[in-house]
Every structure is written in C-alpha cells, then in structure tokens.
A and B are shown apart, each in its own frame.
Chain A
Amino acid sequence: MSRLASERAVVADLVAAMRLGRPSARTLAETTAIGGLVIALTIAGSLGVRELIDRSVHEGFPAAWTPLLMAAFAPLAATALMTVMEIRAQRATLRSAARMTETTFRHLQHVRMVDIDPMSTGERAARVLDGPEELAYFIGWGMGRLGMTIATAIAAFAVGFALNWRLTLLALAVIPAYYFFTSRFDYGLRRLAAERRLASGADVSAFLHEHLSGIRLFQQHRHEPLSQGRFDALSARVRTDRLREFMAGRVAADFGIALSWGVGPLIVFGYGSFEFTQGRLSTGDIGALMSLVLSGLRVAQASEMRWFDAGAIFAAARRLKDTLAMPVEDDPITEALAVARPPSVEFDDVEFTHRTMHAPVLRGLSMLVEPGKVVALVGASGCGKSTTAELLTRLFQADAGDMRLDDRRLMELRLLDLRRTVGLAAQDPFFFNASVRSNLTFGLGDVDSAALERACRVAQIHDFILSLPDGYETGIGERGSHLSGGERQRLSIARTLLRDPDVLILGEATSALDSVTERRVYEAVLAESTDRTILVIAHRLATVRNADRIFVLQDGQIVEAGMHADLLENNGPYRHLYERQTVGVN
C-alpha cells in the first residue's frame, strides 16, 4: 500500500473511533469559547505587566492598582477557566474510553465461536481494556485542546494590532513553526512501534492470565524457573518496545521543538531591540510581548503532548477496527417465534467439520427425538457428542443438513429464542467469582427465591448451599474453584433448570457425581420435566440406562438406536461399551 493510502486508511480508522467515542460538536464549540476567554485573560495579564513596567512603577500607588490587579488576577481567572475545561475534557475522555470498552466487549460477546475460541482470555481482555484508553485521550485532546489552539490563533491576531503588529506577527510565527516541527514525526514509524508495544502488552496479559489461572499445572511440573525465564524475556520485550515507541522518530522533532522555544525570544528581543532603537517600542512592550510568546508556546506545548501520542492512537484505532471487524454470529431473523412445548428435535443428514481438522466430525448425522422424550447420546470420546449439542444451540454452523426444533429449521429462529428453548448444562461449566445466587440468576433479572431454591433442590445442591457460611450469598471463587467438581456440576444443572428450557441437554453434566447423587438428580429432573425434551450425553452407561431411546454415535453417524435392553440384545457397539463397564466388577 502506498504511504498515502495507508495514511488515509488510518485516518478513516480514527474517524470511526471518534464516532464511537462520540464527542459532540457542542462540547467543541464550548471549549473554543472558553479557550477564547482564556486567551483574552492572558492578554489582559500581559497588558497589565506592560502598564506596570512602563508607567505604574514611576507613578506609584494608587495608579498602579489597576494594572497590578490585572497582572495578578487575569491569569488566575484564566487558570480557573482552563481547569474547568480540563476537567470537562477529562470527563469526556474517560467516558469515551468506557464507551469504547463497552463496544468492544459487546462485540466480542457476539463474535462467532470459531473466531473467539482460538483467542486466549488474556488477549480478549487486552483487546477490550488496553486500546480504548489511548484512543480516548485523543478524543479528550480534541475536545479540550483543539478549541484552545484555535482560540489562541484568533486572539493572538487581535492583540497583535493593539501592540506592535509587525513584531507580534513575527513573534507568533513561532507557533506555526512549532507545529511544523512537531508534525515532522514519522507517524508510520511511531504507529508500528506502538502496534508492537500493544501486542507485547497483550502477550503479557495473556501470559499472566494463563499462568495465574493455571498455576497448579506449573507448580506441579516444577515449571517455575522456566516460566520465570519466559516471563523475564516477555517483560524485557515490553521494556524495549516501550522505549522504542517513545524514541521512534523523535529526535529531529524534539530538536525542532527546542529550537522554537529559542527562536521566540530571539525574535522578540532581537527585532524588539531594533524597534526600540527606532522609538516604536517601550521596555514594557517588550516585556509584554515576551510573556505573550511564552504563553502562546505553552498552549502549543499542551496541545503538542498528543501529537507525540499519535502513533499509539493510530495503532489503537487499527486494533479497535480489527476487533470490530470480526464477524458476529449469524442471526438474521428478527421476529420472535414460539415452538410448541415440548418440541421434537431432529437432525437430518448433518455434516460438520471443525476448522482445525481435516476429517468431518459429523458425516450425515440423522436423529429424531420425539417431543417430551428422554434420549441419550453415547459414543467414544471425541466422536462428536458435545459438537452435536453445540450445533443445536448454533454455537457452530452445520456445513450441510438440517436441524429442526418442532418442525422449524433452527435458522428460522432468533438466537435468543433458540437458546432460551435449548438449555445446555455443559461438561465443564463456567462460573463467575461471585455468589451462588448471582451465578445462578446471571442475566435473569429478578428471580424469586422460591424458584431458585426449587431449581437447587432438583439439582440436589440446595442443602449443600445452605451449609455454606453465607448460604446463597457465599462466593464460590474463580470458575467456582471453592467447590468440588460435583458441586460445580450440580450448580450448572440448577442454573440451566432455572431458565426452564423446553429442551434440556445434559452434556456429561453428572460425570463428577457419585451414582447415588446422580440418580437423585435424574429422578428429580425427570419428575420436574414432564413437558420437556431431554437429551443426555454420558459415558457412564448406568446414567442412561433408563432413557426412552439411546443413540450410539460412531464415525459421525448414528450407528445404533433403541432402548437399553434392545441394544444389549443387538450385540452391537453399545453392548460392547456396556460390557467394558461392567465386567470384572464383582
């Protein structure tokens, strides 16, 4: 891409980012107005100074009071106004950052599962948390300082004619010179450096997240020295990348900036001396002009701060754009559609291949679950049982074939309706580091305690919860780590039941339960589910023995189906599996 084209793309990114942060034209107008006032006050201060030096010191009090008060308090008023503006700009900045965080967060919550799965949690979090701040600074800058700079220019011209217009014009030439130098940065270079720094920052965050949440693995395998070594290297990379970013394309611009600070006095005092000898300027004029130039430079410097950051801003804008460009889950239907309760569930010649695999997982899976029945899906580890469940909730899209709920193709339903209809208690449930109650009711709004307790009773976890120090308000740790494996699984079942799904999928949801508890759970769930279609996925065949129908999945297809007793008679794969689990157990 040509440099110009890439710059243009970057600007487009930035504009898009600005739009996200939503700075309003009104705020910009306001800051410009306040900026004008600030400049006027600054000028009043300088005029006061001139007056003092030229006249008042000779005339003495009380004539001196007016210029004196002007010199002292005009700048005070200016600072006060600037503070107001600064605070407004900061608030706007922080708000924009928060808004952008929310936007990326929301987007990631809707991105397709295939795209989000490969990204580690740390990286996802870095995308949400680590770019927006930089971008928002830019927006805050635009709002807070841009207006100010515009105002400076206007006011400076005005005052130029009041004092000595030739000198003023000359002196104020410093400010454009200043901008010229600061814009000499090679933004491409700075952006690259910033991108690298953002990437290594995300790596650190991902590394830390993985190590801290999986600390036992590393401790168990005495991996600490290696981990430390890797972290040190990563940390050193961050250090280098940050320094590189700081220095990238900087030296020349810095030199120029220092030069403009030198050039200001040179012009004022040099040309001023000439005008003085010509009798067109007083000592006071020179003093006043000098303070005008210095405050002009100070304003320019304040706005320059952000020019330095432009690289980082562009890099963050690009990252934001990349994140927001990730495709979201397909959800074309907008109309709510109800399915009959309990619905039938049908798979018709479904094919599916996971992205990292050559071979399809499902090759023409067909399966009909009649309404209100309890069916089981069994098969070897890795044969595609969980995948089947995930297809049913459209976490993935089937490559071919049809799936139907109550004669409606899944694609005819809104995701919202589909996932409310199909409840999945998963193999490896996820929990927030929060109380039992808030985990169970997450996303449901107000749930009355009776319903909550009922779901927990069915899942055989109510009594346990009551035994906790704060009952339903007890925190359960990160991912529920303060609970045993079986307790987590029962909570997950309760969470699903609480949502009262029409189709309940128990995907290895009781693998960590002892058989007595497991049986109690199933009995209670069944008693509760007279109008529900239930799909049980299990390896422990005792779990599924009583199902209305058992489907055996092998090589991506259903190879056998029937009731437990029939299947045993069949002498097929099911019987084979079953025997392995019972032989030798006295």
Chain B
Amino acid sequence: MTHRQLLLLLGYIRRRPLIYLPGFAASLVGVTFLALIPLGIRHLLDEALPAGLWLPIVLTVLGIAAAQFLHRGLVIVNRIFREIADVSMAHDIRRDLFARLLSQDGYFFDRNVTGDLVERLTGDLRQVTFAVQLLVLKGFLSTFEIIAPLVAAFVLNWRLALVLLAFAPTLYIMKRLVAPTMHAANAADRAHAARTREYVHEALEGARMIRSIQAQDPALARLRDLNHRRLEEGSFRVAFTAAAARNLWSFVRAFGILAVFAIAVVEVQAGRATPGMVAAFVQIALTYFGGLGYSSDYLADYERVAAPWRRIAPLLDEQPRVAEGRERVRLSAADASVQFANVSFRYADDRLEPIRNVSLDVQPGEFVGIVGPTGSGKTTLADLVLRHYDADAGGIHIAGHDIRSLLFSDLRRDVGIVPQDAVLLNASIRENLQVARPEARDADLIAAMRHADLHDYVASLPDGYDTVVGDRGVRLSGGQRQRVAIARVFLQDPPILLLDEATASLDAITEEHIQTALARVRASRTVIAIAHRLATLRDADRIVVIDDGRVVESGAPHQLLERRGLYWQLHATQFGAGAQTA
C-alpha cells in the first residue's frame, strides 16, 4: 500500500471512531480477566490448597472460572462489534465507490470492464473490510494478550518475564521473511478473482450467442482454466503462505516454551520459584505466545487488506479526464446551434484518429443529416458533443458556449440522443421510460410512446407498462427496443436532438410514423441525424458526408447527387441507378 492508500483507509476508520470503542473496551476488560487467571492458579496451588482451608479454595476456584467465562464473553462482544464496524465500513466505501464510478467518462469505461469493477465493489471490498476489522480489533485484543501476560509475569518472577520479552522481536524477522511471498500470492489471487468474475459475467450475458453456436463446452473449459489458474497461482498460495507463517511461528513458540521451562527449573532449584508458580507460568507462556502468534496472523491479515485495497483505492482517487464545467445555461430553440471547429480526436494513443479536423456549423432549427461509410466516425461525433470524450484539438460550441465550460446536467438536458444501441434495463417498460424523466406520469409516457409508435403494442401486453423486458430488453424485438429509446427522447424533449441510426431497426412504415411525429417536433428543434438509410434523411436541410473522419461533402441532397461523389455512390447502391429519377 502506498502512503496515500493507507491514509484513505485510515480515513474510513476515522469516519466512525465510536463504533470501535465498545469493542476496545470489551477487549481491555476481557484481557484483564485473562491476566488474573494465572495469578489465581498460582494462589490456588501454592497457597490455598496446601493450607487446606475450604473457603479460600472455593473462592479462588470460582474466581478462576468466572474470569475465564467473562474473558470469553468479552471476546464475543468484541466479535459482534467487529462485525458492526465491518458492515458499516463496507457501506461507507461502497457508496463512495459508486459515486466515483457514476462520474467517470468514456475513457475510463473503455479501460475498465464491468465484471472487474463489480468484483472490486463486492469481493475485494468484502475482503478489505473483514480483514481491516481483524487488524484493528483483534489486533488490539492480541496486543493486550501479549501485554497482560507479560505484566503478570513481571509480578511473579522478573527473570522469567525477561525471557518472554526476548521473543518479541522475532515478529519483525518473520515479517521480513514471509511478507513478500504473501504479498504476491494475495495480489495474484485478487487479480484472478476479478478475471473469473469478468468472464462469468460475460459468458452469462452472452448465453444466447454461446448457445446458438453450441459453444457451451468450450465456454465451460475456459472457466475451468481460469479457476485452475486462480487456485494454483492465487488461492492455494495464499492458504499456503498463511499456514507457513503460522507454522514458522509455532517453531518460535516451541523454543520460547523451552526457554521458559529451562529457566523455571533453574529458578525452582535456586528456591526463587514454587511449582505453583511454574504452573502459572505455563498458563502465561501459552497465552503470551498465543498472542504473539496472532500477531503473526497480522501479516496475513495485512496482506489480505493490502492486495484488494490496492485495487479499490485508485478508484476512490480516480479523476475523470473529461472535466465538468461550471457554467449554467438553458437553451431555447432559437439559439440551439451546434458548431464543430477544427475538431480532431482519438480514443487512445495507439489508435488512429477517427475524427480529423472536422468543422461543421449547424444552425438553430436546422435538420442536418450525416452519412458516411461504416466506421467513418459518425457516432464518435455524437460522443464528443455529449462529452463522453473531449476533442484533442479544436472545440465544440453550443449556442456559442464552449461545451467544456458547461455543467454536464445542463448540456445533457439540452442535447438529447437516441443512441445507435439502445440500452434497456431489466425492469418494467414504465421504469425504462422514467429513466428519462423520473417524475413523468403515465399520461406523459403514453404520449411519448404514441409518438414512438409503441403504445399500442405495450397496451396489448397482459401487464402493459409493467411488463418486465428481460436482460437488456431481450423480450422486446430489436425495433421495439429502439422505439423505447426514441420515446425516452420524446420525454426528455431537448432543443437539440442527436439521432444516431435511430430508426435503423425499423420497417419503413413504422419509421414513417415516427418521422411524422419527429417532423412536428423538428420544427422548433435542431436535429442532427446519422443514418445509412438515406430515405430517413429525405427531409434534411443539409447532408454532411463523412469519410475517414473528415467532412468530404456537404449540401442539400440534390446538390450532392449532382456532384457524383460519395453520397451519389451510396444513393445509387441503395436505390439503383433508376431510382435517382424516381
């Protein structure tokens, strides 16, 4: 863990300091009882029993039993508070992580995979908070399990106590010996766990595809392989190193006990100790070395925290590359212009530039069609306007405002999009629509769905708007999913509208219905529509042809046909040579 990561973690411990108090208190008191037990044993064996008086014997025995009982009881209390601290801390971190993730940009989500992120918020986090509580509360407890017997030892016989003390530094040596291996094993284990979850997510999301190519067996084989690698390179080694550390430790303990007993023999011989005292020392040594042994578990616990925390902490510090502006605007239809000025962009350093020096002026109220070969950069333009990415050079202005200066919420309220791939949630149709306008009432939803030509269908379903559409909306047809996305933008009702292949999955008649609804809306709106199907753009004021990230043609459809360029070529293949005059 870096210094910064450690601070972050401590920050979460400090956030609820009071949660730890009862646990600490329980440990302290419990350990005090523990320290009393050997003293009681010595008293019983050396004094009460030889004296043969019943009352002191009974009292001492009861005292020992009560101390043992209370000690265990307090250990349990400690455990309960540990659990409370654990779940509370997990809750705190989980929320912060989610907030961070919500504000990330396209660059981030290009780099990070859902399954891996989910693992960080679930598996990794669980491990961190669990082990942190071990470190904090059990750690505290075992520190006292070391100190309390030491104190008792000094009370009984300082020479014996010194022998015990001499074994404390071995802890440090142990850490140097085992830590690096543990570290590597834990890191590998977490990485493999994430990879496994990522794969399981994907292979279950793609269950339909896997089935239709009958690749279930290879899909399983890949999981087996991942599991195997996780076990061999991660989990087994984690288990092994932890056990090895414990074992190494009991080696130390054996020598410790040897030393204690040897000195005890000498002490009794010299008349400085009694057999009862030796019995008490057995108890002390066992507790003391037990405590030290726990501390060797620290190491394992520490690595159990460090490895997953190294995966989580950077997320908490993650700053989106696309920085939100501060300016507030509210566009009206009259000033809803969109301007691209010499925009160039690439997704990542090792990729080609999908957008090269694009300049484009869209006037308020204008309907501009964008066409171009597949992969020419059309969707990318829309991504840039909505600031999922930022242009590397040049700028984009909306109503004269540089979009980089605007609040995301204003920008995305005023610029609506029907994306090329509609995203549907596994929820009811109503909830799917309400994402666009949470306060929308049924009447609004129905109106929007009528415009999107889907209301009649939904109304015909047994559960109507409460029909749950399945994972990613699989229980709707492709065109129906797209129409849900169109209805969303009708609900949002923005002055600037980006339509990215918005009707590509629709038949001509349904498309026409929607076009009619759109045309009404369009009158007072700026529309940029991307389409391969040229009929979609027949009412466009202007068509811009993009090829290889550059604007290569621009003008009214008939002008472009006359130029006999790329547009003409696309047109000819779609309608045949004869259609030009049709």
Contact = CB atoms under 8 A, between A and B. Distances in A.
Nearest to A361: B477
Given A212-B117, A381-B506, A433-B202, A261 B69 contact: yes
Given A395-B208, A395-B212, A382 B457 contact: yes
B181 interface: no
Interface string A419-459: 11001101111111100000000111100000000000000
B518 interface: no
* Interface residues on chain A, size class: 35 or more
Contacts of B88: 239
Contacts of A75: 250, 253-254, 257
A204 B87 CA distance: 14
A578 to B, nearest CB: 8
B208 A124 contact: no
A428 B426 contact: no
Interface-centre pick from B122, B235, B261, B501 (highest chain A CB count, 10 A): B261
Interface in B218-233: 218-220, 223-224, 227-228, 230-231
B44 A269 contact: yes
B110 A481 contact: yes
A283 B49 contact: yes
B575 A120 contact: no
B203 A212 contact: no
A428 B421 contact: yes
Given A71-B261, A478-B114, A258 B374 contact: no
Interface residues of B, number: 186
Given A239-B90, A485-B420, A212 B213 contact: no
A125 interface: yes
A129 B123 CA distance: 10
A128 interface: yes
B201 A246 contact: no
A508 interface: yes
Nearest to A118: B470
B177 interface: no
B239 A87 contact: yes
A235 B479 CA distance: 35
Interface in B27-52: 37, 41, 44-45, 48-49, 52
A538 B580 CA distance: 22
Interface-centre pick from B200, B420, B470, B501 (highest chain A CB count, 10 A): B200
B412 A220 contact: yes
A580 B536 CA distance: 10
Nearest to B209: A430
B341 interface: no
A72 B573 contact: no
B35 to A, nearest CB: 15
Contacts of B539: 584
B435 A217 contact: yes
A210 interface: yes
Nearest to A79: B250
Contacts of A580: 508-509, 511-512, 535
B365 interface: no
B103 to A, nearest CB: 7
Contacts of A199: none
A542 B102 contact: no
B205 A102 contact: no
B501 A432 contact: no
Interface stretch (A150-158, A339-347, A352-360, A363-371): A352-360
A386 B474 CA distance: 11
Interface stretch (B7-15, B91-99, B143-151, B297-305): B91-99
B113 A433 contact: yes
B109 interface: yes
A136 B573 CA distance: 61
Given A57-B264, A379-B507, A584-B535, A226 B558 contact: no
B475 A354 contact: yes
B375 A486 contact: yes
A326 interface: no
B102 A80 contact: no
Given A213-B114, A542-B573, A76 B254 contact: yes
A27 B273 CA distance: 48
A582 B535 contact: yes
Interface stretch (B152-160, B240-248, B396-404): B240-248
Contacts of A53: 275, 278-279, 282
B76 interface: yes
B37 to A, nearest CB: 8
B220 A57 contact: no
Contacts of A464: 375
A226 B239 contact: no
B521 interface: no
A359 B462 CA distance: 9
A88 to B, nearest CB: 10
Contact of A121 (B467, B471, B477, B557): B471
Interface in A374-425: 378-382, 386-387, 393, 395, 415-416, 419-420, 423-424
A246 B216 CA distance: 38
A3 interface: no
Interface stretch (A11-19, A109-117, A182-190, A528-536): A109-117
B421 A57 contact: no
Contact of B65 (A129, A265, A495): A265
A486 B460 CA distance: 33
A356 B462 contact: yes
Contacts of B463: 356
Contact of B72 (A117, A119, A258): A258
Contacts of A64: 261-262, 265
Interface in A253-271: 254-255, 257-259, 261-266, 269-270
Which are the 5 A-B pairs with shortest beta-carbon distances?
A486-B374, A262-B69, A381-B479, A443-B215, A580-B508
21 contacts: A49-B282, A60-B269, A113-B211, A211-B101, A215-B101, A228-B98, A231-B98, A239-B88, A258-B72, A261-B72, A263-B65, A356-B461, A382-B457, A477-B110, A511-B504, A512-B504, A515-B574, A540-B532, A541-B508, A582-B575, A586-B558
